[in-house]
Structure 1
Amino acid sequence: MLMLVDCSNCRTPLQLPPGAAAIRCAVCKSITRVGDPRPNPPAPPPANRPAASSLNGHYYPPPAAPPQYYGYAPRPGPPAPTAHHRKKAVIVGVSYRYSRHELKGTINDAKCMKYLLINRFKFPESSILMLTEEEVDPYKIPTIHNIRMAMFWLVQGCQPGDSLVFHYSGHGSQMRNYTGDEVDGFDETLCPLDFETRGMIVDDEINAAIVRPLPSGVKLHGIIDSCHSGTMLDLPFLCRMDRTGRYVWEDHRPRTGTWKGTSGGEVISFSGCDDDQTSADTSALAKVTSTGAMTFSFIQAVERGQVSNPTYGSILNAMRSTIRNADDEIGGGVVTTLVTMLLTGGSAGIGKRQEPQLSANEPFDVYAKPFSL
C-alpha cells in the first residue's frame, strides 16, 4: 500500500512507494526522508527555470478542509500569510503518444489555453502549472500521481479573491457507480497517461480535491475537454439548455446525503459534452492543426465573443454554435473525425452529437452573470 508523507519543506503530500526511504517533492524538488524530522533545504532550481516558490509566490498550508485521497489527509502546516487576488492554473494535455489511444490536439489545447490565460486574463506564467508529455521535468508528465499533486497545489492555501483554473484535454470515460450518488448510475473519469496500469481519476476524487475545499471568496473554473465530461467535477447543478437558448438547472445533488458543493467558494465548469456523449479531437475547426473541439470553441467564444461583455450563457451558446455549424457543414465530420474512444468500446460516429455543457455549485442567471477569470 502506498504511504502518504508531507514534504519536509513545503508540506505538499507525497505518495511514498513501498520500501522507499526518501522521496523528491514534485513541487519544490526538496528530498524528504522517512522518519527524519529535520527539514531539508530546498533543491536549487535548474538554471533555465524559475524557483519553485515562484509557482505561487509563497508556500501555504492546506485549506481548512483538505482533500482526501482515498483515506489519506495531509497534515496542516503553519498559518498562511494574507494573500489576495492571486491567479493560479493547472493545465493538463494528454496525447497518449505512440499508443492506440493517441490524440492529436490535446497538447495544442494546453498551449492555447496557457496563451489565453496569460495574454487575455493576465495570469502570471509562473503561476501556471503545465502537465504534458512534452515537459522535460518528470514531475510534470501527466501521470495519475502528478495530476493528483497538481490538483492539490492548485487549491493549496487559496485565499478570498483568488481565481483558479483547471483545464484538462485528454480522454475521459465512465465506470459503474455503486454508491448511489450519480443520477445516471455512472461515475465520470479522467484518463491520465498511465491509466492502463495505474487507473483513472474518478469524479468523486476530483470533487474532493478541488471543489469541496474551496473557502468563501475563492473562484474556480473547470474547463474539461474530454468524452463523458458533462459532470466531471461532480458539481450539484447542471445547466440543461436547448437549441433556442432556454435553460433550466438540473439538480444533481446525491440522494445519499454526500455533499458535492464547496466550503463557501464558487465553482463553474465548462465541459466538452454531456455525460453520455463523446468529444472530438479534430482538424475540422482549426483547419491547420488538430485541436479539441471544446477547447477551440471555448477560446473562440472568449476571444471573438459576439458581445463585448460575455456572460456564461452567451459563451455556452457560442461554443455550441461553433461546433454545430462545423458539424452541419461537413455532415457530422466533427464527431466522425474523433479518435475512437477505445476505452468504452464505442464508435465515434454513433450516438449523440457533442454539446458543450455548463455546471456549477449553485444555480445562477447565465445571461446576467458576466464571465470572468
Structure 2
Amino acid sequence: MLSCCVAPDIASEEIPMDDFERIRREEELAIQEEVRSLGNVQSLGDETFDMDAILKKDPAFAHTSLEEMEAKLAAALAESDALDAQIEAMGGLGPDTGGMGTMEPFPNQQPIPAVPMVPDDAPVVKAVLVAPTYQSCKRHVPMMGRLDVLLGSVGALEDIQAALQHAKVRTPELRILTDAKKPGGWAVKHEAPTRKNILNSMSWLVQDAKPGDNLLFFFAGHGGQSRDTDGDEEDGKDEHMCPVPQGQHPNFEAALEGSLPKEEADDILGRGISDDEIFEKMLENLPEGVRLTTIFDACHSGTMTDLKHSYSVKVEDDEMARARRQEPPPPGFSFDKRPLIRNEMKGRECAASVLCLAGCKDRETQQTWCDQSGPGMRGAFFLTNMLAKAIAGMRTPNPTYGDVLRELTRDFYRGNRLFMSIPSFSTASAVDLDAKPFSLVGAL
C-alpha cells in the first residue's frame, strides 16, 4: 500500500542506481525539511502527532535499496499466497460478522464483475478522465516539491470506465488525459495531463451544455492545499489538484526564473488547479437541468468543488483510533444502517444538479493501493476501484447514493487504514441520498 503523497519512487527503470539512491535521499531530506518548516507536532482533530518520531519509524522514509524493496515485496507476496492457501484449505471465509476469522474476502481480493453490454439507446454521458502518473516529474517545483510517481493510473482509468459501463451509460464524447502507457493503447486519443490541457478539457466538457445533458469529470492524482486568498474557505485553505509539471520542457528553467508570461510558466511548472478555478471553469455558468458528476480520487479533496452541502458517514473517535492502530473491526461492526451526516458548508451557488465524490476530507491524505484480484499485482486507486464495485452491485443490488457512500466508508475503514480517511458526497442543493438508486444521469 503506497501513500498518495509520500510514495517512494520505484517506477522508473531507466534511472541508474546511483541516481536512484541520490534522488531517494534528496526526497527524504525534502520531506523532513517540509515537516520541520510546518512544526514537528501536527494536529488532526483532537489528536496530535510527533512527526519527527513518525518519520523515524515509518518505513516509507527509510533509506532502502532497490534490492531490499524487491526482497520485502517478494516476502509479502509469499506470505499472502500462503495465507490464501490456508484460508482455501479451511473452506474459505464466511459472511462478514466483524471477526477477523469470519469476514468475507476484502473487496480488493475480488475483481470487478464482468462489464455488461451497454444498450445502444442507453443515456449518454460526456466525460473527461484525468489520471497522471507524474513519471516525468524529475524536478523540484517551488511550493510543490517533487511529486511522487503514482503507479495506479492505468488501473484507475480502467476502473472508472468499468464503472461507467456498470452504470449503463454510453460515452461517445470522451477525453482521456494521462501520461500512462497502456498495452494496446487507449480507446480514444489521449493528451498529457498538463495544466493547460486540463483547463481546456474542463471548458470543452461544459461547452454548450443544456438542460438534460449529463457530464462527468474524473481526476485520480495528487491533491494539495494552499492559502485561501478570497475568504471563501472555512479552514483558510484552498484545495487544488496537481497537473504534471513539464520537467523536460526546454523553457523549464526560464519558467522557474520568472522570465516567461505567467500563464505559460504556470503550465510548464504544473501550478495546481484550485477549487476556485474548478468552480469557475465547470460549475459557475452551468444552467439548471444539467447533471454534472465530479470524482476526485486525491488527497485534500473534500471541498474540491466548493459545494454547499456535504454528506458523510459518522465514524466514531474510537473507530478512527482503532483504524489508525490497524486493528480489526469489533464484532458486529457495520456501516450498513448508519445514518448519513449532512454538513452545511461555506460553498457557492450553482444552478445545475451537481454531485461531487471526494476520497477524503480537506485535511486528510489518501493512499493508492495495489489490487491483487488478478494474476499478479495491478496498480489501482482505492476509491475508484471500490466505487466501480459498489456501482456494480457486488454487495447491494441497485444501491442508493447513500448505500454507495456507506460501502465506500466501510471499505476505507477496513482496507485503507494507514491514513484512515473519510469519503464524502457533496451537492449543490440539499438531497436525500437514500431516496433513489445511484445514477450518473438525471437530476439528484
**Smaller-chain TM-score bracket:** 0.5 to 0.7
Query: Of 278, 290, 300, which aligns to 2:389?
Result: 300
With 89-98 and 142-151 compared, the bigger mean Cα shift is at 89-98
2:444 counterpart of 1:355: no
CA distance in 2: counterparts of 1:212 and 1:104, whole angstroms: 33
Equivalence for 1:95 = 133
Report the TM-score, using the length of structure 1 for normalisation.
0.65
Unaligned runs of 5+ in 2: 1-122, 138-145, 246-266, 316-334
The answer (yes or no) to whether the contact 2:393–2:399 under 8 Å persists in 1 is no
Note the C-alpha offset of 1:366: 1.4
Report the TM-score, using the length of structure 2 for normalisation.
0.55
With 95-104 and 278-287 compared, the bigger mean Cα shift is at 278-287
Larger Rg: 2
Report the AA paired with residue 296 of structure 1: N
Number of equivalent positions: 261
Equivalence for 2:161 = 114
Q: Any residues of structure 2 matched to 1:203-352 within 5 Å, and which?
A: 203-243=275-315, 244=335, 245-253=338-346, 260-262=348-350, 264-283=351-370, 288-327=377-416, 332=417, 335=418
Note the C-alpha offset of 1:128: 1.1
CA distance in 2: counterparts of 1:312 and 1:98, whole angstroms: 37
CA distance in 1: counterparts of 2:193 and 2:380, whole angstroms: 18
Equivalence for 1:164 = 215
Distance 1:196 1:292, change over 3 A: farther
Report the AA paired with residue 129 of structure 1: R
Distance 1:267 1:286, change over 3 A: farther
Equivalence for 1:69 = none
Note the C-alpha offset of 1:247: 2.6
Superposed CA offset, 1:263-302 (max 9, x none):
x210011111111111111116757312111111111111
Note the C-alpha offset of 1:139: 7.2
Note the C-alpha offset of 1:202: 0.3
The answer (yes or no) to whether the contact 1:155–1:214 under 8 Å persists in 2 is yes
Query: Of 417, 428, 431, which aligns to 1:364?
Result: 431
CA distance in 2: counterparts of 1:299 and 1:269, whole angstroms: 16
Question: As a proportion of its length, which structure holds more helix?
Answer: 2
CA distance in 1: counterparts of 2:381 and 2:202, whole angstroms: 22
CA distance in 2: counterparts of 1:98 and 1:191, whole angstroms: 14
The answer (yes or no) to whether the contact 2:211–2:288 under 8 Å persists in 1 is yes
The answer (yes or no) to whether the contact 1:285–1:293 under 8 Å persists in 2 is no
The answer (yes or no) to whether the contact 1:161–1:219 under 8 Å persists in 2 is yes
Note the C-alpha offset of 1:197: 1.1
Distance 1:86 1:197, change over 3 A: same
CA distance in 1: counterparts of 2:228 and 2:136, whole angstroms: 31
2:157 counterpart of 1:123: no
Report the AA paired with residue 146 of structure 1: N
Note the C-alpha offset of 1:167: 0.5
CA distance in 2: counterparts of 1:236 and 1:307, whole angstroms: 28
CA distance in 2: counterparts of 1:285 and 1:204, whole angstroms: 37
SS at match of 2:378: coil
CA distance in 2: counterparts of 1:128 and 1:154, whole angstroms: 9
Note the C-alpha offset of 1:360: 0.7
The answer (yes or no) to whether the contact 1:268–1:360 under 8 Å persists in 2 is yes
CA distance in 1: counterparts of 2:189 and 2:124, whole angstroms: 26
CA distance in 1: counterparts of 2:189 and 2:176, whole angstroms: 12
The answer (yes or no) to whether the contact 2:358–2:425 under 8 Å persists in 1 is yes
The answer (yes or no) to whether the contact 1:316–1:358 under 8 Å persists in 2 is yes
With 244-253 and 104-113 compared, the bigger mean Cα shift is at 244-253
Distance 1:138 1:163, change over 3 A: closer
Query: Of 180, 193, 198, which aligns to 1:142?
Result: 193
Note the C-alpha offset of 1:358: 0.9
Note the C-alpha offset of 1:261: 2.5
Q: State percent identity of aligned pairs.
A: 31
Note the C-alpha offset of 1:119: 5.5
The RMSD of aligned alpha carbons is 2.4
CA distance in 2: counterparts of 1:357 and 1:285, whole angstroms: 26
CA distance in 1: counterparts of 2:365 and 2:168, whole angstroms: 29
Q: Which fold has the larger relative contact order, with Cα–Cα distance below 8 Å and residues 6 or more apart in sequence?
A: 2
Note the C-alpha offset of 1:304: 3.0
2:236 counterpart of 1:185: yes
Note the C-alpha offset of 1:363: 1.5
